[in-house]
Structure 1
Amino acid sequence: MGKLIAYNFTTLNGYFKGPDNDISWHRHGEEESAFSADSLEAKATLLFGRVTYEMMASFWPTPAAIENMPEVAKGMNEAEKIVFSTTLESTDWENTTIIQEDLVEAVRKLKAIPGKVMTILGSGSIIAQLAEARLIDEYQFMIDPVAIGEGTPSFQGLTEKLDLKLVGHRVFKSGVVLLSYEVI
């Protein structure tokens, strides 16, 4: 059976993005970049919704990303990527597959592959849908020491209670805290 991890950074007041998909508040310093690069070495398949995918695809293959965060850019560009979208027809970002079928059924099929590890990056609506279907095995939240006035909650659309237990944590010098949870 495969494993599905949801990874997101969030504000203290629970938003994973601000108005107009703004994530400029996230503190992604040297230590956080090293963590990201190490995480990408695990070779998990990266899962995205269309909005997050388009944001990532517009940055990681660029010379600016490769110059400023070479190890993370290399990992992002080389990783197997799946974008769930009913409207996206094609993509130029290497190693990307578009899946237009039902999200929950597609992820169930992917999780049936022994040893398959997948990580959802961002993509709040996908996280909420897969949380509802009880398909996410681990949640990792990188909590930034910042609050913003409005934005999109990490579990927007969740209709059922989700009980979690803390299984790991890490404090970065920037004040960012990584919390890892499993479903109870």
Structure 2
Amino acid sequence: MGTLSTFNFLTLNGFYKDAADSVNWHRHGGEESGFASDQMEGRKSILVFGRVTYEQMAAWWPSAAALEAMPEVAKGMNESPKIVFSTTLESAEWENTTLIKGDLIGEIKRLKADPDVQMTVLGSGSLVAQLAEAGLIDRYGVMIDPVALGDGKPLFSGMKTKLDLRLVDSRVFGSGVVLLEYVPINA
């Protein structure tokens, strides 16, 4: 069976985006940038997005500014196969992107049936909540910033069931950002 992971930045008070759908509050320092570059190196994961996150990523990673600021990450993001789930997008122009308008849960189950498929949901809190509730996520990665926001979007907003996780790895960056990796307790 294939695998599905998630990766999100979080504030101390649990927001993955601020009230304006931005992650500009995340500390993208040298050490965190190095980690992101290492993660892209040799990675063959399909990147999975919802519409809002996809539009933000597609506007940034192919840009000259992204290629200059984080060349290895930009290269990896642009070359990786990508899936965007949306009922409102008419097309997905970012290279190597497939637009899926159908059933999120059914499509992810179909993709996970292939033992060689590795997928990572980046951002996309609504997708994360739906996939978590369906029990389809194998690994959760969160980078917690030492930042609290007055308002924002909680990562697991809309979930109706309890999600029990077990910590399997952690790392503290010099900036105070903490990386935590979890798997479902029943895994």
3-state SS of paired residue (1:20)? coil
Amino acid at match of 1:38: D
Describe how 1:42-121 pairs up with structure 2 within 5 A: 42-121=43-122
- For residues 33 and 45 of structure 1, what CA distance do their matches in structure 2 show? 20
The one-character-per-residue Cα deviations of 1:1-56 (angstroms, maximum 9, x if unpaired) are 10000110000000000111021110011111111122122221000000000000
Number of residue pairs matched by the alignment: 184
Specify every segment of 5 or more residues in structure 2 that has no aligned partner in the other structure, as ranges. none
Aligned Cα RMSD in Å?
0.7
Is the CA contact 2:40–2:72 (under 8 Å) kept in the aligned structure 1? no
The one-character-per-residue Cα deviations of 1:45-102 (angstroms, maximum 9, x if unpaired) are 0000000000000000000000111011001000000000011111221000001110
Amino acid at match of 1:122: G
- For residues 111 and 36 of structure 1, what CA distance do their matches in structure 2 show? 24
- For residues 127 and 119 of structure 1, what CA distance do their matches in structure 2 show? 10
Amino acid at match of 1:131: A
Describe how 1:105-184 pairs up with structure 2 within 5 A: 105-184=106-185
- For residues 117 and 147 of structure 2, what CA distance do their matches in structure 1 show? 34
- For residues 71 and 23 of structure 1, what CA distance do their matches in structure 2 show? 20
Decide which moves more: 128-137 or 24-33: 24-33
3-state SS of paired residue (1:46)? strand
TM-score w.r.t. length of structure 2: 0.97
3-state SS of paired residue (1:21)? coil
- Provide runs of 4+ in structure 1 moved above 4 Å: none
The one-character-per-residue Cα deviations of 1:99-133 (angstroms, maximum 9, x if unpaired) are 11100000000101112110000000000000010
The one-character-per-residue Cα deviations of 1:152-180 (angstroms, maximum 9, x if unpaired) are 00100111000000000011111100000
Is the CA contact 2:143–2:180 (under 8 Å) kept in the aligned structure 1? yes
- For residues 22 and 170 of structure 1, what CA distance do their matches in structure 2 show? 24
Is the CA contact 2:144–2:178 (under 8 Å) kept in the aligned structure 1? yes
Q: CA deviation at 1:183?
A: 0.1
**Residues 1:31 and 2:31 are matched in the alignment:** yes
| Percent of aligned positions that are identical | 62
Amino acid at match of 1:35: F
3-state SS of paired residue (1:136)? coil
Specify every segment of 5 or more residues in structure 1 that has no aligned partner in the other structure, as ranges. none
TM-score w.r.t. length of structure 1: 0.98
Amino acid at match of 1:170: R
